[in-house]
């Protein structure tokens, strides 16, 4: 996309998801994602704003990297985070 003056304009990022959308993407409940966020076991997130108006957002690239880190080949692989 380009502006009228010919300079490039980047498209807005469509990779951000709120907790409800992430819940559908991962098949995990919102309370589970909130618990994982609180314990530091969940995917990286961003907190936009402050106080009661703040919003938690997840970048899909971070979520996909987090998912890849959870990949195991067998039940004997154990939990690498423990």
Name the percent of the chain lying above pLDDT 70: 77
Q: How big is the chain, counted in residues?
A: 82
Q: Give the domain ranges of the chain.
A: 16-69
- Band the pLDDT of 77: cuts 50, 70, 90: confident
Q: What is the pLDDT of residue 82?
A: 46
Secondary structure (H, E, C), 18-73: EHHHHHHHHCCCHHHHHHHHHHCCCCCCEEECCHHHCEEEEEHHHHHHHHHHCCCC
């Amino acid at each position: 996309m380009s502006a009228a003056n010919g300079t490039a304009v980047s498209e807005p990022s469509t990779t951000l998801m709120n907790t409800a959308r992430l819940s559908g993407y991962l098949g995990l409940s919102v309370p589970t994602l909130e618990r994982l966020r609180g314990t530091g076991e969940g995917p990286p997130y961003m907190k936009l704003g402050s106080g009661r108006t703040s919003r938690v957002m997840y970048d899909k690239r971070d979520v996909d990297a987090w998912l890849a880190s959870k990949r195991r080949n067998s039940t004997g692989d154990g939990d690498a985070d423990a």
